[in-house]
Amino acid sequence: DTAVSQTPKYLVTQMGNDKSIKCEQNLGHDTMYWYKQDSKKFLKIMFSYNNKELIINETVPNRFSPKSPDKAHLNLHINSLELGDSAVYFCASSQDSLAGTYEQYFGPGTRLTVT
């Protein structure tokens, strides 16, 4: 059974396009996250939602907009894609409402390439 799943796994698109990445977890967790991992493997948190409410919103361009239709789903929409958005995006979830007190479960990642 897949715990945290993301679609698509690979996404190649041109500058200026708008794209979405979907994430679903079947662990019954309350909190979900989006991370960006750059080419140097540095992993940085972007957003965190707890029970559909935004609790962490790091300094990311407002071209990035997360949406949580229910606590099992957290999607990431990116407008006007730029070359610098190329990275691997990971979704994760955790059990607790105080984000990070427990371990996080990661999805397999979405490799976004902007040309």
Q: Interface with another protein by CB under 8 A: which residues?
A: 4, 35, 40-45, 56, 90, 92, 98-109
Cβ atoms < 10 Å from Cβ of 84: 9
Toward another protein, which CB reaches closer, 10 or 80?
Answer: 10
Look at the chain and count its residues. 115
Query: What 3-state class would DSSP assign to 9?
Result: coil
Toward another protein, which CB reaches closer, 48 or 68?
Answer: 48
Toward another protein, which CB reaches closer, 86 or 108?
Answer: 108
Q: Strand pairing partners for 7?
A: 22
Toward another protein, which CB reaches closer, 23 or 114?
Answer: 23
Give min distance, CB of 80 to another protein, in A.
26
Q: What CA–CA distance (Å, rounded) separates 91 from 53?
A: 16
48 in Cβ contact with 99 (< 8 Å): yes
Give min distance, CB of 46 to another protein, in A.
11
Give min distance, CB of 45 to another protein, in A.
6
Cis bond upstream, residue 8 (ω within 30):
yes
Give min distance, CB of 92 to another protein, in A.
8
